Amino acid sequence: MDLDTAVEIIYRRALRLSEGKAQLAQDLTQDVLAKIVHDLRSGTLAPVVEPRPWLRALVNNQFIQHYRAERRLKRGGAQWTESLDRHREQGLDPPSTVPGPEETVADRDLRARLRTAVAALPSPIREVVELVLDGHTHREIAEILGIPENTSKTRLRTAVRHLRDTLCSASE
């Protein structure tokens, strides 16, 4: 198979995968050819018995890499992964996710005060808070309690205001 035929196979496959977007297909074709040249120079290119399926597989793999890189960028930027050892060698250990003793005691104290404050809420307001904590929407809460949806929202706002006031005054 000559080079022109190989490029034509790669480009047609790239054009199909890129849904007819010529620029993306050209970039994909160039990346596949660059990979082939790199593998030839590094001596990692294995002998190919059937070049057509092999070329199509290369294009597919390159397309998948492009797709994954694009998704990474959409999720918040390029995320390069390095070995944990390299990070440790550079003194870049990630902060521990396990809370220290002070944080554990403070967290336990806050939870106890929160439980006490929720228990002290009037019954109709406490019911709404408990249902929200169980993951129900205001519409579902309204159906369960037989109240209007806006009443559920008002009761939750009242509870949040009350809890904030109670917990803030207790911490001062």
CA–CA dist 168, 7 (Å, integer)? 69
Q: Are the beta carbons of 29 and 22 closer than 8 angstroms?
A: no
In tens digits, what is the pLDDT along the chain, a chain of 172 residues? 777 888 888 888 888 888 888 888 888 888 888 888 888 888 887 777 788 888 888 888 888 887 777 776 666 555 455 455 565 566 665 556 666 777 777 778 888 888 888 899 999 999 999 998 888 999 999 999 999 999 999 999 999 999 888 877 765 5
Q: By C-alpha distance, which of 41, 51, 8, 42 is closest to 26?
A: 8
Contact criterion met (CB below 8 Å) for 87 and 94: yes
- Within 8 A by CB and 6+ apart from 143, the residues are none
Residues 62 and 31 sit within 8 Å (Cβ to Cβ): yes
Which tokens sit at 101? 């003793």
Rounded distance between C-alpha atoms, residue 68 and residue 71, angstroms: 5
- Helix then strand count (H, E) for the chain reads 8, 0
